[in-house]
Structure 1
């Protein structure tokens, strides 16, 4: 399976010709090889891609925001003019930018798709999260520059690649909108030579050639029809036509000769993460106590599991297991609410406790002098209540020899034989009773562990 070669067109400077470059490059690549799949989309909201490539007036299947939301790429692609595939643009990106945090979101979506050939991404004139996603996925980043301010902005792109541990060899500058009529005295005869000289002096690499400023080409974007015309069909008599053809050949050759694609590495990283995730899950499951830590009823079997209401783990990760929902509810009502008799599972109080427990963490710790401390915290880590409970082997308010559920739980989690384990506490969380093992997956478990460490730092120091 050959991943697509991704070309991102990016510059923090507006008005340098990013969109003109991206859209025309797609058409010239398709003209260079009609069998080559070429796909284009834009994170800008000017809808230039849609205006140039859309056929007819039908409603789009979706847009670029749907791609970031997890919808498969293959469901969003539309076949446009000149044989170029495109994903429609979106007006809603600005509103959801704060919700997108991962820089690899786009790369993972593309790596998991069946898209092939060359993908061209047009970006916004800012290094926002959408541009970062486009850069993270790129095999080649073309940075159009038209003057020294746009050249100075290039360092932010180089800084981003360095921060992310990405190879800066992907970055290439391309002088654009160059007015070849302007001549200089000195070592640089024109703007192209000047920009290229400055770029090389700063350690930047450039593509061969440049894209000239052309009134004819500019008029292709500003006609009364609202349609954007490509240089290939409406500007063949200009030098820009020859320059785009040369640029397309460079990109095509680079794509053909690339021994490894960026998305190939992303796919390998995804597969490695999935293997690690599965191994982490199986490792945690193998260390889980097979029975309820209160009553001893078997809960965890080889390939299946009985319903359970709570998950508990010691602060040092030495002991972990599930608790039967009724067992834990009975324990709490008996020892924390001083219930004189066993509460029926159908009692409304049980439903109320079960619902509120979804937003709580429970902590059990040894307090010395044959007593335990039972704490309840909210999801922000603030203590709601705490109570000191005498630790007895048998329930005192029932039959004299009835085993204490609290004692059973404490013996299996807080004690090593008769000796309490120093600085250990038990952390308990309400879970999905239909899928108890969900808590053992990486994200839920890591969130639980982070909450345990946060709350553990607030607990009073237990006596030696």
Structure 2
């Protein structure tokens, strides 16, 4: 199934006829081929789309806020007048602007939407995150210009494509609201020729023709009923009608000739990224030691994972594993707080440590004063989330720990043995990095985004550790 052909109408200059262009283009395209789905989205909160296309007094099924919030397209898409499907804007769009992660969010949504035909997106007269998303998804960008200031504003659109590493071929200028009654002396006989000459001189490409200024067309947007009427039905006697028909044919032919749609490229890129992400996750999961590195309890099974609250990894990425919460808490209380008795999991101190550990990183490494295996000691560091050292402590390392009348294997030795003291990993500069994780979904730390954040923190904190001695 071919992805839809996306046409974005965008200009940072207000009053250039952007919304009139988007709404009427949708109607003319539908008239060219009634079997072809035509869909109109609007980020502009003037609600012209709603006023032109809504049938009767029906309640909206949704808006662009719902679309960006993850609601399926088919649940909010409405069939409006003239056979055009539409989703109106929302007054609450600005409330989610800070939550939109990047300019590819809309493209990813549309690539999975199942829409066909042609999608037209009306944008705001600003280069905000919503306009950037509409531009990123576009196969064709129509930039209406009516004067030199609006022509100068085109530079920002071209700069955006350059910053994103995207081809500028989709960008096309269209002179709009041209007063055909005005004529000039010199090489440019009218405003259309002047604007087109300026555009070509600046390296911009233009669509064929222009949209003229027409009092008749302007009156279609201003009437006592508050209804907006299309040019196709109420302005057929104007030159603007012929100009829109010519514009629609250009877009229609462009859509037919464009076999490699922008959304298809984005969908394939997403699939490739997801495949790579899945492979990376499986590789990391396979590399993780299956048992708790302190008590030896099995945590990682073939198709399942036991609850675990800490993840640890050596600085050279050679050894990684999970730690049971009670095991690590007991280790910290035993060696850092010198608690001889076993700590009760319900103890308020445990809750306090558990809560503060969410905002901490822990590091275990060789101490610099090791002279013999019997006298080995480790340094235990605690850092906050900004990478500032909170504390560090030197801890003697013994194979067994005395506890009242008997000895038991040392939890610290069990943790350090496979991570810091294996024969092939005995480098002094290696350290063990420990982070509290989501116990309900411990494997989340192995996903690309989480793992990258952890690795960046480990590299940063590692750079702040004192250099290890080279015995």
> 1:226: Cα distance to partner?
1.2
CA distance in 2, matches of 1:216, 1:346: 78
8 Å contact kept, 1:28–1:245: yes
2:434 equivalent in structure 1: 428
Summarize the alignment of residues 101-140 of structure 1 with structure 2, pairs less than 5 Å apart: 101-140=101-140
1:372 equivalenced with 2:378 (yes/no): yes
CA distance in 2, matches of 1:31, 1:147: 30
Partner-residue secondary structure (3-state), 1:169: coil
8 Å contact kept, 1:394–1:400: no
| Residue deviations 1:72-102 (CA, integer Å, cap 9, x gap) | 2222211111111111211122343233241
> 1:418: Cα distance to partner?
9.3
Partner-residue secondary structure (3-state), 2:367: strand
> 1:209: Cα distance to partner?
0.7
CA distance in 1, matches of 2:301, 2:194: 72
> 1:117: Cα distance to partner?
0.8
> 1:60: Cα distance to partner?
1.7
2:73 equivalent in structure 1: 73
1:8 equivalent in structure 2: 8
| Residue deviations 1:80-131 (CA, integer Å, cap 9, x gap) | 1111111121112234323324100000000011111100001111111111
Summarize the alignment of residues 17-416 of structure 1 with structure 2, pairs less than 5 Å apart: 17-368=17-368, 369=370, 370-398=376-404, 401-416=407-422
CA distance in 2, matches of 1:337, 1:323: 19
Q: Structure 1 stretches of 5 or more lacking a match?
A: none
- Larger displacement relative to structure 2 (98-107 or 114-123): 98-107
| Residue deviations 1:140-166 (CA, integer Å, cap 9, x gap) | 000111112211221221111111111
1:447 equivalenced with 2:453 (yes/no): yes
Partner-residue secondary structure (3-state), 1:13: coil
> 1:345: Cα distance to partner?
3.0
> 1:430: Cα distance to partner?
1.7
CA distance in 2, matches of 1:417, 1:396: 27
CA distance in 2, matches of 1:96, 1:351: 34
CA distance in 2, matches of 1:359, 1:406: 22
CA distance in 1, matches of 2:65, 2:399: 60
8 Å contact kept, 1:366–1:420: no
Partner-residue secondary structure (3-state), 2:62: coil
| RMSD, aligned CA | 1.7
Partner-residue secondary structure (3-state), 2:175: strand
1:437 equivalenced with 2:437 (yes/no): no
> 1:26: Cα distance to partner?
0.4
Partner-residue secondary structure (3-state), 1:413: helix
2:373 equivalent in structure 1: none
> 1:322: Cα distance to partner?
0.7
| Residue deviations 1:153-209 (CA, integer Å, cap 9, x gap) | 212211111111111110111111011111111111111111111212222111111
8 Å contact kept, 2:137–2:263: yes
TM score, norm. by length of structure 2: 0.95
CA distance in 2, matches of 1:172, 1:306: 56
> 1:398: Cα distance to partner?
4.7
- Larger displacement relative to structure 2 (389-398 or 85-94): 389-398
| Residue deviations 1:375-427 (CA, integer Å, cap 9, x gap) | 22233333333222111121134566522110111121122339742322111
Partner-residue secondary structure (3-state), 2:342: coil
8 Å contact kept, 1:101–1:129: no
Partner-residue secondary structure (3-state), 2:57: coil
| Residue deviations 1:406-459 (CA, integer Å, cap 9, x gap) | 011112112233974232211111222232212111122122222222322332
- Larger displacement relative to structure 2 (239-248 or 420-429): 420-429
- Larger displacement relative to structure 2 (396-405 or 321-330): 396-405
CA distance in 2, matches of 1:418, 1:217: 80
CA distance in 1, matches of 2:267, 2:96: 26
Partner-residue secondary structure (3-state), 2:379: strand
Partner-residue secondary structure (3-state), 2:8: strand
CA distance in 2, matches of 1:389, 1:366: 10
CA distance in 1, matches of 2:211, 2:448: 49
8 Å contact kept, 2:7–2:121: yes
8 Å contact kept, 1:423–1:461: yes
Count of residues in correspondence between the two structures: 464
